[in-house]
Structure 1
Amino acid sequence: MDTDFGLKGKTTFGGTSNKTAEGSIKVMDSGQINAASTVAQQPYLMGYLAVEAAVKTINGETVSPVVDVPANLITKESLKDFLKE
């Protein structure tokens, strides 16, 4: 059965949530979609920095009202390196 509906190479797909990024990474790697990139968040780092800020607050230290957690841009070119991590 033809599953690309004649759209192979003509559509764009991307994601930002961790589950969506995992799915798009798998289909990018398999060649099922021709995605330019996707974004993978870092949930472990998000949690770590949140706990760190909470502990500082409890200890009376000043914390920034904004904590930036960088996301990873995953392209076809960087996909193999990302999968090694």
Structure 2
Amino acid sequence: MKYIILVAFILSIGSIATGFFFELNFSEKLIGFGTVGLFIITFPLFIYYRWSKRSLKDYMITKENLEKMREYRDNEQINN
């Protein structure tokens, strides 16, 4: 998955750069396809890849997490 994301990113950036730097009849299309590839394909794949192994419960405010934060804060105040 990591390599697919890397290839999609390189192709999108390459398409955008080619559209900007070369005077072609279809330069605007290259820029557009590169942008679409970046925001519709690459970014969602990257977000899925990075968040697929994490639990959403760890990032929610629950009673247990509030207690952990209070304990951490109290320990920091004692140590300083």
TM-score, normalisation: structure 1 = 0.33
Q: Which has the larger radius of gyration?
A: 2
TM-score, normalisation: structure 2 = 0.34
In terms of fraction of residues, the more strand-rich structure is 1
In terms of fraction of residues, the more helix-rich structure is 2
